[in-house]
Amino acid sequence: MCNRDRVLCLLILALTLQSCSVFGQNLPHIACPDIFQYLEYRGQYIGHIQVVLDSSSVENVVKVEFSQRGRPPTYSGEINFLENEESLRYRLRNGELINFRVDFPTPGVVPKLIKVDVNGETLCQADQYFPPSVKLFLSRTLRTTVPLSAQPQRIPFTPRPPIMRDPESAPRPQPLPQRPQQVQSPVQNPPQPRPQPLPQPLPQPTQSATPTNPPPIRRINDAPQTLGQLNTVCGREKPIQTAFIHFGEVVQRGQFPWMVALLERIGNEYSFTCGGTLISARTVISAAHCFRFGSKSLSAARTVVSLGRNSLDIFSPGDLQGVSQLVLHHQYDVNTFTDADLALLQLTNQVQFSDFVKPICLWNENYLLDLPSGHKSYVAGWGEDEHGNKNTRLAKMTSTDIITQTECRGNLTFENVRYVTSNTICASNAKASGPCSGDSGGGLMLEEQDIWMLRGVVSSGQRTSKGCDLTKPVIYTDVAKHIDWLLRTMWF
């Protein structure tokens, strides 16, 4: 596999070597070590599952159960594929082991595997801990639109029987394929706090990339074709029970289903760049500075949109879409970028709306144009956190309060007042919680009578030598002030 998937091999040696030290640790007994192992990864333990799936089935469902001592955690953990799509199809078609990574919910606490089930058949089973303890249920489904049994060289599916033996007698775990590494943009720290686009952009040009002959698209028959039709489906969340990126709470999948991540394609890897918001079946809005600022010039052809995910892990459930057109606001100016810091991305194909992929509503005249001080708004993203991590794997969100332009200017240095214009909105949070580097392009969201509406796009914040200064206001480009341009330019 290393010869065929060279991009996945860098992590193999590291995790294999780290796994050698695992057996001496005080870890739970492993009932089926040929299926499951604990591995040490970045100072924490993760789970590694290897099973063969049925290549003749359109849908393969892997369910795992763990037993963890103590009270139920607020987050139950995750199980994700550790293969890219090409590798998954090859392994499935040829009857090879499929690799899964399990992230446990509580740092420093390693739960005990008590069950592995594939397509309703139990492959491994063990006793759970005595009370007080809790069961954790995780599952992952691999779907193929056409059964791969139709392809040549199919190897019949033969499920593994349950195996019960001590960890000491287990074979060494097979190496894990590497997950794509997130390539971070360098952050420049100016000598004095000055608004910088988030993430800190590299030092210029400013034309939009607009192909004159875009490729044909795959259209979905029931996709909204007008603004009126769009208003009947937009802004509705999947029901989520969660507590309310700096000091924020984790966004659950299905919460803010219009939230997208923008990735730059670099060879066979993807690098996270900015956030964005889905506003129709073919349109994503983001910040113009994510594409043109200083020497930064990101084209539509190199941009990929990740939808339906709360995670930057592209192996998790969701959709990846190419971008066929990129249009920057005609008034965007790198010298006063906040005034019209908007970009529209035309997706290569229309997306199918679901609980996890849905557009947010746009401002209209039924809502306030001038928001009062203290008006509650929300922002979410994968950007830098309070611990100095350049990106968070799971999206985080926080509430933030609108402040007037007078209040905003009064909390900025003299040099930075010019970034507050009639086309911007400022917001701040008493807990110093809010967007930071990497959250650029994400949406400033309002909830109006259980309907979510996009009001702004993350544009600029204050930085010091220690990172983001969230005691100062964050500046957003006001989408409502550019609504005519937006409605003329967007695609359905």
- 356 by DSSP, 3-state: which? coil
Six token digits for residue 144 = 């193929």
Looking at residue 466, its pLDDT comes to 61
**17 Cβ contact partners less than 8 Å away, ≥ 6 residues apart:** none
The whole-number average pLDDT for the span 43-70 is: 87
- Give phi and psi for 269, each to the nearest 5: -115, 165
Q: Answer whether residue 443 shows pLDDT above 50.
A: yes
Looking at residue 288, its pLDDT comes to 93
Q: Answer whether residue 180 shows pLDDT above 70.
A: no
Lowest mean pLDDT among 112-121, 260-269, 280-289, 338-347: 260-269
Which helix (H) or strand (E) element contains residue 379?
A: strand 376-381
Q: Answer whether residue 24 shows pLDDT above 60.
A: no
Contact criterion met (CB below 8 Å) for 138 and 49: no
The strand order across the sheet containing 98-103 reads: 36-41, 44-51, 98-103, 78-81
Q: Answer whether residue 133 shows pLDDT above 60.
A: yes
Six token digits for residue 491 = 């695609």
Q: What is the CA radius of gyration of the chain?
A: 24
Which helix (H) or strand (E) element contains residue 410?
A: helix 405-410
Tell me how far apart the alpha carbons of residues 218 and 166 are, in angstroms, rounded to a whole number.
53
Q: Which residues pair with 381 in a beta bridge?
A: 396
- 45 by DSSP, 3-state: which? strand
- 13 by DSSP, 3-state: which? helix
Amino acid residing at 458? V
Six token digits for residue 343 = 């970009």
Tell me how far apart the alpha carbons of residues 30 and 165 are, in angstroms, rounded to a whole number.
8
Tell me how far apart the alpha carbons of residues 169 and 29 are, in angstroms, rounded to a whole number.
12
Position 285 confidence tier, pLDDT thresholds 50, 70, 90? very high
Looking at residue 335, its pLDDT comes to 84
Average pLDDT of the chain to the nearest whole number:
76
- 165 by DSSP, 3-state: which? coil
- Give phi and psi for 61, each to the nearest 5: -120, 120
Count Cβ atoms below 10 Å from residue 415 Cβ, excluding itself: 11
Please return the burial class of 468, using the count of CB atoms within 10 Å of its CB with bins 0-12, 13-18 and 19+.
Answer: buried
Q: Answer whether residue 190 shows pLDDT above 80.
A: no
Looking at residue 144, its pLDDT comes to 58
Looking at residue 124, its pLDDT comes to 92
Contacts 24+ apart (CB under 8 A), 103-107: 103/46, 103/47, 103/77, 103/78, 103/79, 104/44, 104/45, 104/46, 104/47, 104/66, 104/77, 105/68, 105/73, 105/74, 105/75, 105/76, 105/77, 105/136, 106/68, 106/73, 107/44
Residue the block writes with tokens 């089926």: 32
Percentage of the chain modeled with pLDDT above 90: 33
Q: Answer whether residue 240 shows pLDDT above 50.
A: no
The whole-number average pLDDT for the span 57-77 is: 84
The whole-number average pLDDT for the span 326-353 is: 93
Tell me how far apart the alpha carbons of residues 133 and 112 are, in angstroms, rounded to a whole number.
11
Tell me how far apart the alpha carbons of residues 217 and 211 are, in angstroms, rounded to a whole number.
14
Helix segments in 30-121, DSSP class H: 85-93
Of 306, 330, 341, 305, the C-alpha closest to 461 is 341
User: What is the tens place of the pLDDT at every residue in 302-337?
Assistant: 999 999 988 887 777 888 999 999 999 999 988 888
The whole-number average pLDDT for the span 61-68 is: 93
Contact criterion met (CB below 8 Å) for 382 and 316: no
Of 134, 139, 356, the C-alpha closest to 240 is 356
Domains and CATH numbers, the chain: 6-169 (no CATH), 196-489 (2.40.10.10)
User: What is the tens place of the pLDDT at every residue in 211-227?
Assistant: 345 555 566 667 787 88
Tell me how far apart the alpha carbons of residues 230 and 213 are, in angstroms, rounded to a whole number.
26
Looking at residue 18, its pLDDT comes to 42
CA distances (Å), origin 222, targets 281, 285, 440, 492? 10, 22, 32, 11
Six token digits for residue 444 = 């400033």
The whole-number average pLDDT for the span 376-384 is: 85
User: What is the tens place of the pLDDT at every residue in 248-269?
Assistant: 578 888 889 999 999 988 877 7
Percentage of the chain modeled with pLDDT above 70: 71
Looking at residue 123, its pLDDT comes to 94
**What size, in residues, is the chain?**
492
Tell me how far apart the alpha carbons of residues 418 and 337 are, in angstroms, rounded to a whole number.
10
Looking at residue 58, its pLDDT comes to 63
Of 406, 435, 419, the C-alpha closest to 477 is 419
Lowest mean pLDDT among 54-63, 124-133, 148-157, 217-226: 148-157
